[in-house]
Structure 1
Amino acid sequence: METTHRAVRVLIADDHTLFREGIGEILTAAGGIEVVGSAHSGEDTCRKAAELHPDVVVLDVEMPGQGIRETLPQLRRVSPHSRIVVLTMHDDVVLARELLALGAGAYLVKGSTRHELLSAIHSVVVDRGPGHVILSVSQQGLDRVDNTPGELLSAREREVLGLTAEAMSNSQIARRLSIAEGTVKRHLRNIYAKLGAVSRLDAVNKAVAASLIPPPENRN
């Protein structure tokens, strides 16, 4: 393992100024960490990362502008050597699995201690291997998870995808489920992101292969 004596360069991304400043003070006081910048949205985070190439991005899940599922892959493209520590209020193992799969190196709930945050930052810098991840959720968060593949998609997303497998259009699905057509489109976008799918057919095939939905011929 190569060691270095320079400070770990960190970019803090959160839409709340007070929270960014508080995290910055914690990291600076710890020593060995340099806060090189801050960002207030997904787009701003990607711009700052492309400019600064920090060692670590401490990234909030919910910020204005583009969503976390767009921001994570973009960060990996514009600053591939940066490691990403997601810091969120969502005590959600399913979300954690998804974001770790998209490139985050650590997932911490905002109830974590400063020691856990500092440990996560230093750990992701030391071990850059793709299989090295850090997960911090509560026991309650773990208890909510049924360890079945279907937990990757919400119940509504599985409904939408199941009807998609029956060759229904967005408008037909909307009428069947009594929701807006725009809501159907949003569910499909989320499904594509979670499954890494590029089309309706691709999403259906991947979901069937992962046993998330039954094959169309087996549906009632």
Structure 2
Amino acid sequence: MNRGDAAVTVALADDQTLFRDGVREILATNPGLRVVGEAAHGEAAIALCVERQPDVLLLDVEMPGPGTAAVLLQLRRLCPHTRTVVLTMHDDADIVHEAIECGAVAYLIKTIHRAELIAAVIAAAGESATVRLSVSRRTVERLVKQRRPTCEGTLTERELEVLRLTAQALSNAQIATRLRITEATVKRHLTNIYGKLDAVSRVDAVRKATAAHLIEGDQGKPIK
């Protein structure tokens, strides 16, 4: 993209005010970047991008509101000009895969250096089809094995695991223990599941997934 002397406009979406302050200060060190707004939850991030049409959105994956997939799909439809960079603490192949499939142009872990962040934002504002990742080798190896699409209503393997255990009436804490993940991660998966299935509760999600033959009970029979 030949931007001339125009600054790259950036929106920040993270529910931690102190973290947003830090990112804003880092970006301010580069005169070619200009923060045009901030949001603390998913709906606000979408509204901000619709209003300001920033070149780049820095998006956390664990905020109140719609799941990451729902936010990315909405942004792809409403703000095709805005390119989304996921900036998160979660080094998880399922989340990376879902984010990239749903339209993110980069996935960065919050432990990166400030120079890497600035470089990623500038690169995201360009027209390159390259996807930028800053994740562990373990996550990259898992990504290589993941081939199937995960957006447009399709659940990831991890989300299916969570939903199957939910159908067995396990609590979030029990699911977290069974899958060796945090309870917060279970909640995030459930939020994404609700968004993809247009469900309003655990029971509704299980019912809709069963009706769509996404999950089954023993002997191949649908879960009641």
TM > 0.5: yes
Q: How has the CA–CA distance of structure 1 residues 203 and 135 changed in structure 2, closer, same or farther, with 3 Å as cutoff? A: farther
Q: Distance in 1 between matches of 2:122 and 2:195?
A: 33
Report the secondary structure of 2:29's partner residue: helix
More deviation in 151-160 or 45-54? 151-160
Asked if the contact 1:42/1:71 (under 8 Å) is kept, the reply is yes
**1:111: which partner in 2?**
111
Q: What do the CA deviations read for 1:60-95 (whole angstroms, capped 9, x no partner)?
A: 111112221211111122211000000000011221
- TM-score (normalizing by structure 1): 0.70
2:89 maps to: 89
Of 185, 190, 193, 1:190 maps to 193
Contact preservation (8 Å) 1:7, 1:32 = yes
List per-residue Cα deviations over 1:136-173 (Å, max 9, x = no partner): 10234345668255894028538839xxxxxxxxxxx9
In structure 1, how many angstroms separate the alpha carbons of the residues matched to 2:123 and 2:142? 27
Q: Counterpart of 1:81 in 2: which secondary structure?
A: coil
How far did 1:41 drift? 0.6
Q: CA deviation at 1:203?
A: 5.5
Among 136, 139, 142, the alignment partner of 2:137 is 139
Matches within 5 A, 1:175-214: 177-179=168-170, 190=193, 193=196, 200=209, 204=213
- For the residue of structure 1 that corresponds to 2:25, the secondary structure is helix
Larger relative contact order, structure 1 or 2 (CA cutoff 8 Å, min sep 6)? 2
Match of 2:32 in 1: 32
Residues 89 and 189 (structure 1), Cα distance of their counterparts in 2 relative to 1, 3 Å cut: closer
Q: Secondary structure at the match of 2:51?
A: helix
Report SS of the residue matched to 2:73.
Answer: helix
Q: Secondary structure, in 3 states, of the residue corresponding to 1:5?
A: coil
- Provide structure 1 residue ranges, at least 5 long, that are not aligned to the other structure: 162-172, 208-215
Which residue pairs with 2:204 in the alignment? none
Q: Which amino acid aligns with 1:154?
A: R
Further displaced range: 110-119 or 49-58: 110-119
Which residue of structure 2 aligns with residue 154 of structure 1? Answer: 158
Q: Which residue of 1 aligns with 2:200?
A: none
Deviations 1:119-139 (A, max 9, x none): 11111111254xx31111023
Q: Tell me the matched-pair count.
A: 185
Partner of 1:72, secondary structure, is: helix
Larger radius of gyration: 1
Kindly report the root-mean-square deviation, in angstroms, between the aligned alpha carbons of the 2 structures.
3.4
The residue number in structure 1 matching 2:98 is 98
CA distance in 1, matches of 2:100, 2:67: 15
Q: Counterparts of 1:27 and 1:147 in 2: how far apart (Å)? A: 35
Amino acid at match of 2:145: N
Residue 36 of structure 1 aligns to a residue in which SS? strand
Between the two proteins, what is the percent identity of the paired residues? 38
CA contact (8 A) 2:66 2:195 kept: no
| Equivalent-residue separation in structure 1 for 2:20 and 2:192 (angstroms) | 30
Q: C-alpha distance in 2, partners of 1:128/1:202?
A: 41
Amino acid at match of 2:86: V
